């Protein structure tokens, strides 16, 4: 079976039917032509002689890990060479490797060095003193030592203050003594911890004279640098098979009277002095600020996974032909079935909406970081609320969106070689890590409760919360014009009223004698709903502004503007329909209004139909990134499915060994 | 690490708090105390010395298959011995092994013999003549030969008439010549086809004198009975790794001038005579009747998967403690967080609703089968519509429900040893096989269109469609009392109006000149929505009748009746809230009505809270069936997680081989 050199004619036709310039779209969605070009350069360099992902499907668990180590080291070396060629001395393209789609293409099962690059080195820089950075950080940046960030335990994830690992300060030796006092206090999950790292940052409860001083960070060597043997008192290993990410080498760690010098506690903020004096961190407001950055990255990362799945599904749906519409007519591309368009097009437009809102959130983070460096913390709560709401809804939408896309590929979506299962396994993990989604929504809900008090007291609101004050001042929703502004305002008005209702329920509970946290728990359903809508109103408004602001319009060609108008139209109509149960509670709509929305939905699906393949081309995924027999640029789907099947170990000999051993004796015994 | 002998005290407390008798609940949900006892007997027999599922996690792809063959043969032998002991000569308990939860416990990756038992032997009986049964069926029943059912092709799944495999009749030899004329005509997906079967039924286009005679079934030997070598002209193999079900051995098959005698076409219905005369099947209405049976089985099967996930999650949520509600209070069971109850309880109640509706559907199938044997086909369309709608919504709800349950277990739900990933992989496959869900909904939609014409013409409607006529006669929804009957009627009224609207859109399209199938395609979104609601109204009504009919109430204790009332209350309130966008389109509800529903939701969640663990106990899953470190009956979760981790191959030596090979050279190169 050889793969044809030609592009599948259906895909040729699709590309010819596009009404816009794909390269202009790519530069727009990457928001930076330089970033796009850099990405392509890195891909070219790294994919030159990269391994075939299909083979990974059949490696043993142990060999997936061993290959992960090898490929991570090789890729890091290549990338370092490239970095030196392009920007000597910099480090900015390393994260490109370990997190984004390029890293996943090289290591579809994840990398045991990812947490080292993304968290260990960053934490040493952000939490260590200059001396500590000189001692550990430089070696870590240089990969002379490999570390991880050991926070979660077998018994605790979300609730940081519940961690049980202890670090007791001992004055006479000027040391901390680290212990895992219970089974549930074992560190559990850190990437690379199992068999890869020789150092880690341990998050533990600091005790001085048996008095708890809160959670602190400690640098700990866990394995010998020469032999890699675990050091005394260290019980360390792999946590075993997971749904995905077999290469990440998540590990466990138990500690028994392990001693480290006092100077191994990261002391940029809080400090322990030699006499046992504890000096508190001066900037406790900042505790959750680094998480905002990570949550931006999670949003953008899950966007990429979702976009990959949309690209694979769209291309396959343009190639696959099935079920004639009129009997005896030829079978159409499945993309011509309306139900298929309804499955795919909203996912594409959701990707774009999150890409825009994630980009805006990241810019807000950068501005706020500057403000913070001037000790201006005013915008932290609103940024925190947005990052929580967006992280929760984006990871949820992408996870379930990828699965719906996979299902819309029919049986072949169930093949490992479609890569859709792997994308799902990555996306869904993000619903849990970096803040479990329901917990995040509850945090947003609490901020909304506080903000609603400000609304009632007519205080000034934070910019991204200002709509709550505006909408609260309306007795009822203004006349329904149905235009884009109206649809965005309908979402804002609904978010406002959901907040009002949750606030009312919460206050009734306080009056009935519940404590504030009890009332929050009891109002949890309504609060999470309000929080979700707050996030969705922000996403819708960001999309609306991007498409309608004159200064943005002027930078784009007319054909691209037309495309974006269609995408916005679909996004708003579809989002409003999706939240119609809440909207109709607060806004009266007639049968004509509702029929009109359905007609607009169907009309814009038809408008977008000829551009779907081209939009996905514009996401600019390298075939090695998609790594899918269904999603290749050339559309030679069936040949690739067959080629992948041929690699199954069960196809390497005519008769499997179990035939003589088990099957034949079984059949013969029945004669 | 040893597993404690005691039951976790939180689970002890939960079981003591139950307000009903678990054994009575089990007998009720199994609908037959004998069935329940038979199930327990089979479990006891088969699980005595069954393998540890954790070890399967680390086998190579090839060994998963080889073990699947061994365990299938062993289990079949044990079961045959049991069958002979209990009911000599019968076969009724074999399907228990190969499909249900017991089979999954023994072969978590699926069995390469499953399609043999479930489809090959059945098809020989239902489509073969007595002579053909004597020749092939008896040997198949006895496992002297192993077969599969080869229908889907690389290029065709849903659309049966599009199959490309050819069977040309050749008069002079009285043979069929079988061919796969294209790459896309390769058979693809049949279970066991890859390396296991030596026979199969091939579904192919019959040609006589180059004239197409439609799709027929042919018995074909594919491998030598002694050597298991593929026979001449047969290109056969494994289709490679999938998202789940690694043990099912799905295969491909290409044919090149393979000859079989004329008598190998299954001729119970259609026939080819020796002179080449084609005799049509007299009962073409029956083509889709066997599928009704299979779809009942899919509904009940996915119910089981969903119930397993609910049991695992509920037990874990009773054991897991996290995040104090009041600061400095002890951490509560996560099941005491309202948001967690909102994630779990609706899934439990959904399982029960589908169990009831699936059971009712199966009884309707049995009645209809009797009618069909009297050549009475009147109820086929309504049964077909219900089976399609239920199969689609049950597989969808269970798939996404299992994933939401898994997410509500936090990080540990991502461990393979939770078994939740495996349950998801099984459940989601059922969204695609036995009729892709959207295609099924469209078929229901088409039946609804026809039925609406009958409504307009005031014709008599089929019993499960009769509500459409009743609701159509109301000018508006009767006064909203909010009681259960009102909630069921609200769903029926909404299904009726969604049908009315879809019918209107469809007719407008016909008037604009579209053909009927084009109009169906263009109305696809509204038709699938109407179809889904039709199914949901049936499920809600079935649940309502079960709980409220006097003859049913009398058979149960007061405490069980009280429990079922709470379950119904939650199901109806939650389902109505979920479809509120559509309901509010047709029924005017006040703010008070909506607030009341939310209050009822929160109240009944609290009522059900003390019974959740006991309800799941009542599903009566053996620990070996759940096969989950999070879900064991004794609740010793953390010890089991650790025990499973210790089995990772990466924990069998202190230093992995990649350290000296790759990691150390990499780190040293950076010095």
Q: Is A55 on the interface with B (CB under 8 A)?
A: no
Q: Which of B414, B421, B656 sits opposite A66 (nearest CB)?
A: B656
Judged by CB atoms closer than 8 Å, whether chains meet at B658 and A69 is answered as: yes
Q: In the prediction, which pLDDT does B372 show? A: 86
Maximal C-alpha separation, chain A: 90
Q: Do B415 and A331 touch (CB under 8 A)?
A: no
Mean pLDDT on B77-96? 73
DSSP state of B148: -
Across B333-368, b (16+ Cβ under 10 Å) vs e yields bbbbbbbbbbbbbbbbbbbbbbbbbbbbbbebbeeb
Residue A584 backbone dihedrals phi, psi, to 5 degrees = -65, -15
**DSSP per residue, B454-507:** HHHTTPPPPGGGHHHHHHHT-SSPPP---SHHHHHHHHHHHHHHHHHHHHHHHH
Q: Kindly determine whether residue B524 and residue A342, on different chains, have CB atoms separated by under 8 Å.
A: yes
> For residue B559, is pLDDT > 60?
yes
Bind-site residues of A for FAD = 152, 191
Going by pLDDT thresholds of 50, 70 and 90, the confidence category of residue A570 is very high
For chain B positions 436-455, those within 8 Å of chain A (CB to CB) are 436-439, 442
CB contact under 8 A, B326 and A414: no
CA nearest A595 in B: which residue? B501
Predicted local distance difference test score (pLDDT) of residue A593: 98
Which chain A residues contact residue B408 at CB under 8 A? Answer: 438
Average pLDDT over residues A143-162: 94
| Residue keyed to tokens 């996974």 | A305
Mean pLDDT of A32-45: 85
Q: Which tens digits make up the pLDDT trace of A605-637?
A: 999 999 999 999 999 999 999 999 999 999 999
CATH of domain B145-282: 2.40.110.10
* Cβ contact A195–B650 (<8 Å): yes
Q: What CATH number belongs to B288-616?
A: 1.20.140.10
**Alpha-carbon gap, residue A634 to A611, rounded angstroms:** 17
Q: What is the pLDDT of residue A46?
A: 83
Cβ neighbours of A655 in B, within 8 Å: 195, 227-229
Contact A109, A56 (CB under 8 A): yes
Predicted confidence band at B284 (pLDDT cuts at 50, 70, 90)? Answer: low
B434 carries an active-site annotation = yes
When pLDDT is averaged across residues A37-58 and rounded to a whole number, the result is: 81
Residue B99 has pLDDT above 60, yes or no: no
Q: How confident is the model at residue A213, as a pLDDT?
A: 96
Q: Is the pLDDT of residue A95 over 60?
A: no
Q: Which of A24, A434, A436, A643 is catalytic?
A: A434
Say if the Cβ atoms of B69 and A662 lie within 8 Å: yes
Percent above pLDDT 70 for chain B: 96
The residue-averaged pLDDT of A102-111 equals 76
Confidence of residue B197 (pLDDT cuts 50, 70, 90): very high
Are B633 and B37 in contact by the 8 Å Cβ rule? The answer is: no
Per-residue model confidence (pLDDT) at position A100: 62
Q: What is the pTM of this model?
A: 0.97
Contact B322 A515 (CB under 8 A): no
B311 labeled binding residue:
no
Query: Chain B residue with minimal CA distance to A336?
Result: B521
**Any CB–CB contact under 8 A between B333 and chain A?**
no
Give the least confident one: A524-538, B77-91, B409-423, B602-616: B77-91
Distance from CA of B435 to the nearest CA of A (A): 10
CB contact (8 A) between residue B66 and residue A662: yes
Q: Which of B30-39, B245-254, B447-456 has the lowest mean pLDDT?
A: B30-39
A92 or A567, which is more confident: A567
Nearest chain B CA: its distance from A183 CA (Å)? 7
Tokens of A460: 């000034």
d(CA B483, CA B547): 14
- Residue of A192, A243, A600 to mutate, testing the B interface (most B Cβ within 10 Å of its Cβ): A243
Among all residues of chain B, which has the CA nearest to that of A664?
Answer: B226
Tell me which chain B residues have a C-beta less than 8 angstroms from the C-beta of A145: 667
- Any B CB within 8 A of A653 CB: no
What is the percentage of chain A residues whose pLDDT exceeds 70?
A: 96
- pLDDT one-digit tens code per residue, A477-515: 999 999 999 999 999 999 999 999 999 999 999 999 999
Dmax (CA) for chain B in angstroms is 90
Mean pLDDT of A567-588: 98
DSSP A220-281: EE-B-TTT-PBPTTEEEEE---BSS-GGG--EEEEESSEEEEGGGB--SSSEE-TTS-EE--
Neighboring chain A residues of B224 at a CB cutoff of 8 Å: none
Tell me the CA distances in angstroms from B479 to B476, B486, B537, B590, B593, one per residue in order: 9, 9, 19, 12, 12
Q: Specify the range with the lowest mean pLDDT, choosing from A55-59, A311-315, A628-632, B479-483.
A: A55-59
Which residues of A are less than 8 Å from B229 in CB distance?
654-655
Pairwise CB contact (< 8 Å): A143 & B667 = yes
Yes or no: say if B181 and B164 are a contact pair by the CB < 8 Å rule.
yes
Average pLDDT over residues B187-214: 97
pLDDT of residue B109: 81
Half-sphere exposure of B408 (CA within 13 A, CB side): 29
Identify the CA nearest to A402 among candidates A297, A320, A308, A535: A308
What pLDDT is recorded for position B91?
62
Q: How confident is the model at residue B95, as a pLDDT? A: 57
B192 is in an annotated binding site: no
- The answer to whether A648 contacts B240, with C-beta atoms less than 8 Å apart, is yes
Catalytic pick from B55, B144, B403, B434? B434
Residue B398 has pLDDT above 90, yes or no: yes
Q: Distances from the Cα of A634 to the Cαs of A9, A315, A425, A638, B611, in angstroms?
A: 9, 9, 26, 11, 56
Question: In B, residues 150-169, which contact A (CB 8 Å cutoff)?
Answer: 152, 154-159, 162
The domain ranges of chain A are 32-111, 145-282, 289-616
The predicted-structure confidence for B454-475, as pLDDT tens digits, reads as follows 999 999 999 999 999 999 999 8
Contact A593, A601 (CB under 8 A): no
The whole-angstrom distance between B28's CA and the closest CA on chain A is 32
* Closest Cβ opposite residue B655 in set A229, A323, A647: A229
What pLDDT shows up at residue A671? 65
Return the residue in B663, B665, B668, B671 with the most chain A beta carbons within 10 A, the one to mutate for interface testing.
Answer: B663
Min Cα distance A385 → chain B (Å) is 19
Give the pair of three-digit tokens for residue A531. Answer: 């929080």
How high is the mean pLDDT of chain A?
Answer: 93
Task: Report the pLDDT value the prediction gives residue B138, as an integer from 0 to 100.
Answer: 93
| Residue A94: band (very low, low, confident or very high) from pLDDT cuts 50, 70, 90 | low
User: pLDDT tier at B42 (50, 70, 90 boundaries)?
Assistant: confident
Residue B535 has pLDDT above 80, yes or no: yes
The residue of chain B nearest to residue A254, with distances taken between CA atoms, is: B642
Question: For the segment A437-448, what is each residue's pLDDT rounded down to a tens digit?
Answer: 999 999 999 999
pLDDT at residue A158 is higher than 70: yes
- To the nearest whole Å, the CA of B557 is away from the closest chain A CA by 32
Q: Does B404 contact A at CB distance below 8 Å?
A: no
Q: Which DSSP string corresponds to B278-335?
A: EE--S-GGGGGHHHHHHHHHHHHHHHHHHHHHHHHHHHHHHH-B-S-SSTTSPPPBGG
Mean pLDDT of chain B: 93
Q: What is the pLDDT of residues A269-326, one digit of tens each?
A: 899 999 999 999 877 666 677 788 889 989 999 999 999 999 999 999 999 999 999 9
User: Which tokens sit at B413?
Assistant: 């739900």
Q: Check CB contact of B581 with chain A, cutoff 8 Å.
A: yes
Over residues A560-585, the mean pLDDT reads 98
Asked if pLDDT for residue B97 goes beyond 60, the answer is: no
Query: What fold does the segment set A289-616 form as a domain?
Result: Butyryl-CoA Dehydrogenase, subunit A; domain 3 (1.20.140)
Q: Which of B323, B437, B661 sits opposite A158 (nearest CB)?
A: B323
Is the CB of A322 less than 8 angstroms away from the CB of B158? yes
Of A337, A595, A648, the CB nearest to B238: A648
Hey, is the C-beta of B322 within 8 angstroms of any chain A C-beta?
Answer: yes
Query: Does the fold of domain A289-616 match that of domain A145-282?
Result: no
Is the per-residue pLDDT at B668 higher than 70?
yes
> What's the rounded Cα separation, in Å, for the pair A56 and A61?
10
For chains A and B, CB pairs below 8 A equal 366
Contact (CB<8Å) A240/B416: yes
Interface predicted TM-score of the whole assembly (ipTM), two decimals? 0.97
The answer to whether the CB atoms of B662 and A343 lie below 8 A apart is: no
The answer to whether A663 contacts chain B (CB < 8 Å) is yes
Distance from C-alpha of A570 to C-alpha of A608, rounded to nearest angstrom: 9
Report residue A325 CA to chain centroid gap: 39
């Amino acid at each position: 079976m050889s793969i044809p050199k030609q592009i599948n004619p259906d895909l040729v036709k699709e590309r010819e039917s596009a009404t816009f310039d794909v390269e202009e779209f790519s530069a727009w969605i990457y928001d930076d032509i330089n970033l796009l070009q850099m990405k392509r350069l890195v891909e070219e360099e790294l994919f030159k002689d990269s391994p075939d992902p299909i083979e990974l499907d059949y490696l043993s668990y142990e060999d997936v890990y061993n290959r992960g180590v090898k490929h991570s080291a090789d890729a890091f070396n290549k990338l370092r060479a490239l970095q030196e060629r392009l920007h000597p001395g910099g480090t900015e393209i390393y994260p490109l490797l370990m997190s984004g789609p390029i890293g996943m293409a090289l290591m579809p099962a994840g990398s045991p060095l990812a947490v080292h690059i993304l968290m260990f080195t960053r934490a040493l820089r952000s939490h260590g003193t200059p001396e500590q950075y000189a001692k550990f950080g430089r070696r870590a940046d240089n990969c002379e030592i490999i570390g991880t960030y050991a926070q979660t335990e077998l018994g605790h994830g979300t609730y940081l203050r519940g961690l049980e690992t202890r670090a007791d300060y001992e004055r006479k030796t000027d040391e901390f003594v680290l212990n895992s006092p219970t089974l549930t206090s074992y560190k559990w999950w850190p990437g690379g911890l199992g068999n890869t790292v020789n150092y880690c940052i341990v998050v533990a409860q600091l005790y001085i004279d048996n008095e708890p001083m809160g959670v602190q960070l400690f640098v700990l060597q866990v394995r010998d640098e020469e032999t890699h043997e675990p050091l005394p008192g260290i019980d360390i290993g792999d946590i075993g098979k997971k749904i995905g990410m077999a290469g990440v080498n998540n590990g466990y760690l138990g500690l028994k009277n392990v001693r480290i010098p006092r100077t191994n506690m990261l002391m940029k903020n809080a400090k322990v002095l030699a006499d046992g004096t504890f000096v508190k961190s001066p900037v406790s407001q900042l505790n959750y600020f680094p998480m905002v950055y990570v949550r931006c990255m999670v949003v953008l990362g899950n966007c990429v996974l979702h976009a990959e799945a949309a690209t694979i599904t769209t291309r396959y749906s343009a190639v696959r032909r099935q079920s004639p519409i009129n009997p005896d007519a030829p079978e159409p591309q499945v993309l011509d079935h309306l139900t298929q368009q309804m499955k795919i097009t909203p996912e594409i437009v959701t990707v774009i909406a999150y890409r825009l809102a994630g980009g805006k959130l990241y810019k807000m983070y950068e501005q706020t970081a500057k403000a913070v460096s001037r000790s201006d913390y005013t915008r932290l709560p609103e940024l925190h609320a947005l990052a929580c709401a967006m992280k929760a809804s984006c990871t949820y939408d992408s996870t379930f969106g990828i699965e719906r896309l996979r299902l819309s590929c029919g049986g072949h979506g169930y093949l490992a070689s479609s890569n859709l299962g792997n994308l799902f396994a990555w996306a869904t993990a993000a619903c849990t890590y970096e803040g479990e989604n329901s917990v995040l929504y509850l945090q947003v809900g609490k901020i909304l409760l506080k903000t609603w008090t400000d609304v009632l007291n007519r205080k000034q609101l934070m910019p991204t919360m200002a709509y709550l004050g505006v909408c609260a001042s309306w007795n009822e929703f203004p006349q329904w014009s149905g235009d884009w502004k109206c649809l965005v305002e309908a979402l804002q008005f609904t978010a406002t009223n959901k907040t009002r209702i949750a606030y009312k329920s919460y206050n009734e509970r306080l009056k009935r004698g519940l404590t504030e946290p009890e009332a929050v728990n009891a109002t949890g359903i309504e609060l999470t709903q309000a929080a979700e809508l707050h996030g969705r109103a922000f996403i819708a408004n960001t999309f609306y502004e991007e498409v309608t602001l004159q200064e943005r319009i002027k930078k784009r060609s007319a054909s691209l503007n037309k495309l974006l108008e269609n995408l916005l139209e679909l996004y708003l109509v579809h989002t409003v329909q999706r939240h119609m149960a809440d909207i109709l509670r607060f806004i009266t709509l007639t049968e004509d209004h509702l029929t009109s929305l359905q007609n607009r939905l169907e009309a814009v699906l038809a408008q977008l139909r000829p551009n779907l393949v081209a939009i996905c081309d514009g996401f600019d995924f390298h075939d090695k990134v998609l790594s899918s027999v269904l999603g290749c640029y050339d559309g030679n789907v069936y040949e690739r499915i067959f080629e992948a099947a041929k690699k199954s170990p069960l196809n390497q000999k005519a008769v499997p060994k179990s035939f003589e051993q088990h099957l034949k004796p079984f059949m013969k015994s029945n004669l």
